[in-house]
Amino acid sequence: MLEIEGLNKTFASPSGDVVALHQIRLQVEKGQFVTFIGPSGCGKSTLLKIVAGLDTAYQGSVKLNGKAIAGPGVEKGFIFQEPRLFPWLNVERNIAANRSLRDKEVCKQVDELIELVRLKGFEKAYPRELSGGMAQRVAIARALLRRPEVLLLDEPFGALDAFTRTHMQEVLLDIWENNKTTMLFVTHDLDEAVFLGQRVVIMNPRPGHIRNVIGIDLPYPRKRSGSSFQELRSRVLSEFEKVETPAIEIGAGI
């Protein structure tokens, strides 16, 4: 279980300190799929980096299974916006990375993962030969090989076209249903947030804080065209619009 309590984060900037995160409080049960949505600057990526242990300059407590997060590690798999593959390694070696393929067990798991992320036949291909979606699937397989306790995804499908993105969302749900990995998924796409998450965390900027958490009580696989999906989507959307309102009011005041 992931517990975040009284989390504050400030960045130093030339024009003074900027509060990136203000009093974040959140609990995520093991195996839960949580999506984070909010306008840019609301600190959702910063929050993810803190959970990953990539950013340790914060106040408050962030605990995974009761233990404070001390630094990055394989139990907290991270999928970045870009695939970040090693360009000099082919697909299977990228997935194995610092584990040796000569190890029979590693080799077997890599094969299974290649099957899972639907990349059969591309084991020997190099990153330059892959499309964006394929490369991102390699990155996901690389994280999964380490059997992460929680998978942190920072707008992983943001750069993909609509078709590939839908496909990738299905692949990700497949993986989640198979492995029951806890998922923290940051996105700026409303549909994606509602389609994937059991809970949608809506965040507000200036300073970044959690505005609302909406439970999406729909069975998987979800149908985007379904009426209950649309209903929940508009609920999230209306919350989201409230987020935007203050900015408009300020604008109107001038």
Partner 1 sequence: MNEATVLDVKAGTGAAAQKRTGSRLPKWLYGWLLPLLLLTIWEIAARLNLVSETMLPAPSLIAAAFGRLAASGELAEHLRSSFIRAGGGFLLGGTIGLLLGVFTGLGKWAERTLDPSLQMLRTVPLLAVIPLFILWFGVGELSKWLLISIGAFFPLYFHTFLGVRSIDFKLYEVSKVLEYSKLQLMTQVILPAALPNILLGLRLSVGTSWLLLAVAEMMGASSGVGYMIQDARVYMQTDIVFVGIILFALVGKLTDSAVWILERRWLHWQNTYKG
Is 97 near partner 1 (CB under 8 A)? yes
Burial label for 48, CB within 10 Å (0-12, 13-18, 19+), is: buried
Is 156 near partner 1 (CB under 8 A)? no
- Is the bond preceding 219 in cis, omega lying within 30 degrees of 0? no
Contacts of 57 (CB under 8 A, 6+ apart): 9
- What's the min distance (Å) between Cβ of 129 and partner 1? 9
Indicate which single residue of 18, 22, 80, 212 sits in contact with partner 1 (rule: CB under 8 A): 80
Cβ-contact 196, 37 below 8 angstroms: no
The identity of residue 110, as a single letter, is V
The identity of residue 185, as a single letter, is F
Residue 161 in tokens = 């076209």
- What's the min distance (Å) between Cβ of 120 and partner 1? 21
Q: Which is nearer to partner 1, 123 or 191 (CB)?
A: 123
- What's the min distance (Å) between Cβ of 83 and partner 1? 10
Indicate which single residue of 9, 137, 142, 199 sits in contact with partner 1 (rule: CB under 8 A): 142
Residue 176: which of 110, 77, 94, 96 has the closest Cα?
A: 77
Which range touches partner 1 (CB under 8 A), out of 67-75, 153-161, 166-174, 210-218? 67-75
Binding region for partner 1 (CB under 8 A): 52, 54, 71-74, 76-78, 80, 82, 84, 86-89, 97-98, 126-128, 142, 146
